[in-house]
């Protein structure tokens, strides 16, 4: 009988509450967003390096077992794609590769700068296909989706999230794999949006009051 050994990644990259970030002038930022952002808090290059390390840890932990990688749209798609690229590269260069298939689901959890009380599951393929599989899930809002997934009896569910925010609103839930632990600020970029804007921003930045007002619904 195969005994799958997994470990939870307990350490992560912590960005302190007093982190001032980096001046926008040091980076390439779309001109139409320059007046809407305070600072760059996580540059794109650092995101990519951290994502590569997460991919390595996941591949090592899964022990060659089949993974269904479930992407949470829309905010998770860029991180998901980059994470899979690194996992595929590792698969081609190690003796014990990981069989990998992909699925997608969409959650709606934000309106303006306030998190909605109810998380809406929108779309997604037939989740019964996940029965008995190992899942690495990526995205920002997890608990509603986890309860839905567990109804289909997956073998193992592991969650990888690029960002975890330190906030008093937190339920205390911690993903198994964390890219960055960040202050309680409204962050945009790298596919993280504010009312669908800023998904085309490569870096993760702090949204200022001007941006909140300009793109408010």
Q: How confident is the model at residue 117 (pLDDT cuts 50, 70, 90)?
A: very low
**DSSP notation for 64-120:** T--EEEEEEETTTHHHHHHHHHHHHHHHTSSSS---EEEEEEEEEEEETTEEEEEEE
**Distance (Å, whole) CA 141 – CA 107:** 8
Q: What is the pLDDT of residue 139?
A: 41
Q: What is the pLDDT of residue 85?
A: 95
Q: What is the pLDDT of residue 129?
A: 59
* Packed helices 44-62 and 77-91: angle between N→C axes, nearest 10 degrees: 50
| Average pLDDT, integer, range 98-113 | 73
| Closest residue by Cα to residue 189 from 69, 4, 24, 40 | 40
- pLDDT at position 136 over 60: no
Q: Which long-range contacts (CB under 8 A, 24 or more apart) does 204-207 make?
A: 204/40, 204/41, 204/42, 204/47, 204/163, 205/21, 205/24, 205/29, 205/37, 205/38, 205/39, 205/40, 205/41, 206/21, 206/37, 206/38, 206/39, 206/41, 207/36, 207/37, 207/38, 207/113
Q: What is the pLDDT of residue 12?
A: 64
Q: What is the DSSP-derived secondary structure letter of residue 146?
A: H
More confidently predicted of 119 and 7: 119
Q: How confident is the model at residue 140 (pLDDT cuts 50, 70, 90)?
A: very low
Q: What is the pLDDT of residue 9?
A: 41
What would the pLDDT profile of 42-85 be if each residue is shown by its tens digit?
999 999 999 999 999 998 888 778 888 988 877 788 999 999 99
Neighbour count for residue 126 (Cβ, 10 Å): 8
Q: What is the pLDDT of residue 173?
A: 77
More confidently predicted of 94 and 180: 180
What would the pLDDT profile of 21-40 be if each residue is shown by its tens digit?
999 999 999 999 999 999 99
| Closest residue by Cα to residue 139 from 161, 109, 114, 107 | 161
- pLDDT at position 147 over 90: no
CB-based burial label for 197 (10 Å; 0-12, 13-18, 19+): middle
Q: What is the pLDDT of residue 6?
A: 35
Domains of the chain plus CATH, in order, are: 45-183 (3.40.50.2020)
For residue 103, what are its two tokens? Answer: 């699925």
What would the pLDDT profile of 179-213 be if each residue is shown by its tens digit?
999 998 999 999 889 998 999 999 999 999 999 99
pTM attached to this predicted model: 0.82
Q: What is the pLDDT of residue 71?
A: 87
**Distance (Å, whole) CA 154 – CA 205:** 36
């Amino acid at each position: 009988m195969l005994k799958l050994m997994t470990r939870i990644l307990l350490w992560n990259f912590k960005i302190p509450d007093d982190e001032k970030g980096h001046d926008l002038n040091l980076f390439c930022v779309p001109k139409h967003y320059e007046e809407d952002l305070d600072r760059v808090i996580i540059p794109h290059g650092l995101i990519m390096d951290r994502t590569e390390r997460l991919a390595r840890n996941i591949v090592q932990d899964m022990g060659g077992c089949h993974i269904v990688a479930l992407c949470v749209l829309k905010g998770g798609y860029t991180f998901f794609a980059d994470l899979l690229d690194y996992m595929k590269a590792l698969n081609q260069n190690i003796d014990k590769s990981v069989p990998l298939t992909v699925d997608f689901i969409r959650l709606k959890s934000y309106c303006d700068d306030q998190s909605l009380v109810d998380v809406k599951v929108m779309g997604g393929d037939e989740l019964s296909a996940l029965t008995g599989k190992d899942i690495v899930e990526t995205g920002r809002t997890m608990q509603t989706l986890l309860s839905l997934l567990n109804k289909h009896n997956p073998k193992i569910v592991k969650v990888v999230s690029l960002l975890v925010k330190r906030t008093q609103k937190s339920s205390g839930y911690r993903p198994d794999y964390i890219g960055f632990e960040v202050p309680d600020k409204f962050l945009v970029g790298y596919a993280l949006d504010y009312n669908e804007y800023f998904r085309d921003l490569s870096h993760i930045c702090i949204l200022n009051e001007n941006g909140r007002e300009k793109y408010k619904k």
